[in-house]
């Protein structure tokens, strides 16, 4: 039994090149995942998305669990294995930054999404809030896994000691940045999942990880076979054992075939 972690966006799925929204998985990639699992292996997601944000085309595939929010949460067969949500005081501090500077921040949690600050005409698909009362109204548990901002707010981020000191920042796309609790990464959550699987199913053989961007690097560095998509960043490719084809040319399927799973 081997284990493979798969990033979603720009690894398993591609997005509309104009709007940046939507998710499409190729038939070859979907079939490759199913074959990998039918041979007794375990497929897991590793994403910056919330669990409820997994695209429908991915939900139909036999993934046994996931690393969500860039590592703030790990789930296996519906059970919480690991969690490290953003502390309440840090949420309040981030909201204060949006009020003081106008910086736009998306708050993403298990109960939904909320946005604070200046959206710069970008549709965040989230209700706008101004303070902790508004956030608590939308997310009563305050289980927020990550914050996100776009490239035009990089100066505000760099100027904020609060954000730089209290959060770990990952770049998940050329124009998109994500903030999680200090020290959180896909690697920590993924290895909690590996330990849980070992207890239930026995010690795994090889561990693979597929990704394309900076938020995948901690996990890529910690597995036996790190695979980076052809469309991945140069930084991510620098830690790869194998660089496969891009997401538009079935890179995941080709890599699984290269390593003998298909």
10-residue averages of pLDDT along the chain (262 residues): 97 76 87 98 97 94 98 97 98 98 97 97 95 98 98 97 97 94 97 96 96 97 98 97 97 98 96
Q: What is the pLDDT of residue 106?
A: 98
Assign a CATH topology to domain 88-181. Answer: 3.30.1240
Q: What are the structure tokens assigned to 132, written together? A: 């902790």
Name the class of domain 3-84+184-258.
Answer: alpha beta
Domains of the chain by residue range: 3-84+184-258, 88-181
Query: HEC profile for 219-254?
Result: HHCCCCEEEECCCCCHHHHCCCCEECCCHHHCHHHH
pTM of the predicted model as reported, rounded to 2 decimal places: 0.95
Q: What distances in angstroms separate CA 172 from CA 100, 122, 236, 248, one per listed residue?
A: 26, 17, 11, 18
Q: With CA atoms as reference, report the closest residue to 97 among 179, 164, 178, 162.
A: 162
Q: What is the pLDDT of residue 23?
A: 82
Q: What is the pLDDT of residue 21?
A: 58
Q: What is the pLDDT of residue 15?
A: 76
Whether 139 and 115 have beta carbons less than 8 Å apart is answered as no
């Amino acid at each position: 039994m081997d284990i493979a972690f798969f990033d979603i966006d720009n690894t398993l799925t591609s997005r509309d090149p104009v709007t940046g929204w939507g998710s499409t998985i190729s038939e070859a990639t979907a079939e490759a995942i199913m074959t990998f699992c039918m041979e007794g292996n375990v497929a897991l997601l590793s994403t910056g998305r919330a669990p409820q944000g997994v695209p429908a085309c991915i939900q139909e595939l036999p993934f046994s669990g996931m690393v969500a929010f860039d590592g703030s949460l790990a789930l296996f067969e519906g059970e919480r294995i690991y969690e490290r949500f953003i502390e309440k005081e840090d949420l309040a501090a981030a909201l204060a930054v949006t009020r003081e500077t106008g910086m736009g921040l998306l708050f993403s949690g298990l109960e939904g999404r909320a946005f604070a600050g200046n959206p710069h005409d970008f549709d965040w698909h989230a209700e706008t809030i101004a303070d902790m009362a508004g956030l608590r109204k939308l997310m009563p548990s305050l289980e927020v896994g990550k914050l996100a901002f776009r490239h035009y707010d990089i100066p505000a981020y760099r100027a904020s000691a609060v954000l730089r000191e209290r959060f770990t920042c990952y770049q998940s796309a050329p124009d998109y940045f994500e903030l999680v609790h200090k020290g959180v990464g896909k690697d920590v959550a993924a290895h909690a999942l590996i330990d849980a699987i070992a207890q239930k199913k026995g010690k795994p053989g090889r561990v693979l990880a597929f990704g394309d961007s900076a938020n995948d690097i901690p996990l890529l560095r910690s597995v036996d076979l790190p695979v980076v998509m052809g469309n991945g960043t140069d930084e991510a490719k620098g830690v790869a054992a194998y660089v496969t084809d891009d997401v538009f040319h079935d890179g995941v399927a080709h890599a699984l075939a290269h390593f003998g799973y298909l």
